[in-house]
Structure 1
Amino acid sequence: MALFGLFRSKAHERRGFELYGQAVQAARQPYFYAELSVPDTLDGRFDIVGLYVALLIRRLHRDADPRGAKLAQAVFDAMFADMDTNLREMGVGDMSISRRVKNMWEAFHGRAQAYEAPLEAGDAAGLATALARNVWRGTLPDDDDRPARLAAAALRTDTALAAQPLDALLAGRARFPEVTA
């Protein structure tokens, strides 16, 4: 019985990495960096990857099936395993890796919490405010429409993910809509 549980968790782990990879691909769409001028930096990319992973995890947690929560944890674990690997590849010293990953976890968690209420309410303006603060670090003028455009894309993605059956996600298949002007 314990051996069977081991294989089951490995399946979630594998699917978590597959889904995480798909979220990263969606976050790499040139639209974010070319049209919305999201900073094409480690921080800017982390913000968009974090947004897409948060949307995916949100979808998985909303499912009544307990496998959704397990898969959400696997996606989260995949993200931070990838962050650890990337930091190591960039030459960050072993002694500071855990601190940096912890800081990234805290940033991700804070952003996911800031986005949750506006997503739940379908509040595009509230989501745009949170995105302006986090993605552009509050540097945009109040009348700039880029945070609203990113919020609209996030809400469309949230809706698209909500419509996808858990079975597809459990098989490691998520469809993220293409983002265009």
Structure 2
Amino acid sequence: MSALSRLFRPRPDPRGQLRPLWHRVVEVSRAERWYRQGGVADSVPGRFDMIATILALVLLRLEAADAPPEHGVHLTELFVADMDRQLRESGVGDLVVGKKIGRLVAALGGRLGALRDAFAPTADPALLEDAVRRNVTLNDGAEATPLADLLRQYHAALATYSPDTILAAELPQ
């Protein structure tokens, strides 16, 4: 094979193997319990908040298990690609998409930081409720405690899954 043909040979998308995990993250984020029991608003902002929250928990689990960092990078790229597609399908113009994507990625980063702090071994349990109040769109009058309790349960369940199991798109429901 010549050098030129190797150079222009199509390469597989490294994100391809993580696409099933991304779809599973979205599926888990749409589970009824987050909205009925947890008080998350069943709206576009509320659904985005749950996708970003579940993705952040998965990323934190992979990080805690010392999984290769490129897995987190590729999952985040899938998040960005999906959000970009969703914005364009909803009619957002090209000139605005980049700014909105920047805000969505910043929201994911903020969640990662808040949840990393809230689930630190010596963290005050109130940190998670504060993170929920700041980062999740709740129904009017809904308290943060029910969702915080559900997230604690999910975080504990996720901790029992190996990185290989998670990368195979097996997540607790």
TM-score (norm 1): 0.80
1:75-154 matches, within 5 Å, as 75-121=75-121, 123-136=124-137, 140=141, 146-154=143-151
Equivalence for 2:159:
162
Which of the two has higher C-alpha Rg?
2
In 2, Cα distance between equivalents of 1:101 and 1:175: 26
- 1:62 aligns with 64
Is the 8 Å Cα contact of residues 15 and 74 (structure 1) preserved in structure 2? no
Percent identity, aligned pairs only? 28
Moved over 6 A (4+): none
Unaligned runs of 5+ in 2: 1-5
Q: Deviations over 1:40-62 (max 9, x none)?
A: 22211111111100000111112
Does 2:170 match 1:174?
Answer: yes
The offset of 1:123, in angstroms, is 4.1
1:26 is matched with 28
Partners of 1:134 and 1:90 in 2: CA distance: 23
- Give the SS at the match of 1:20: helix
3-state SS of the aligned residue for 1:176? coil
Could you say what the CA RMSD is over the residues aligned between the two structures, in angstroms? Answer: 2.3
8 Å Cα contact 2:57-2:115 kept in structure 1: no
Q: 1:152 to 1:124 in 2, by over 3 A?
A: farther
1:15 is aligned to 17
Structure of greater relative contact order (alpha carbons < 8 Å, 6+ residues apart): 2
Displacement, 1:65?
Answer: 4.2
> 1:130, 1:85 → 2: CA distance?
28
In 2, Cα distance between equivalents of 1:86 and 1:164: 30
* Mapped partners of 1:59, 1:36: distance in 2: 21
Q: Partners in 1 of 2:159 and 2:102 — Cα distance?
A: 29
SS at match of 1:96: helix
Cα distance in 2 for residues equivalent to 1:173 and 1:76: 15
Task: Describe the SS at the equivalent of 2:15.
Answer: helix
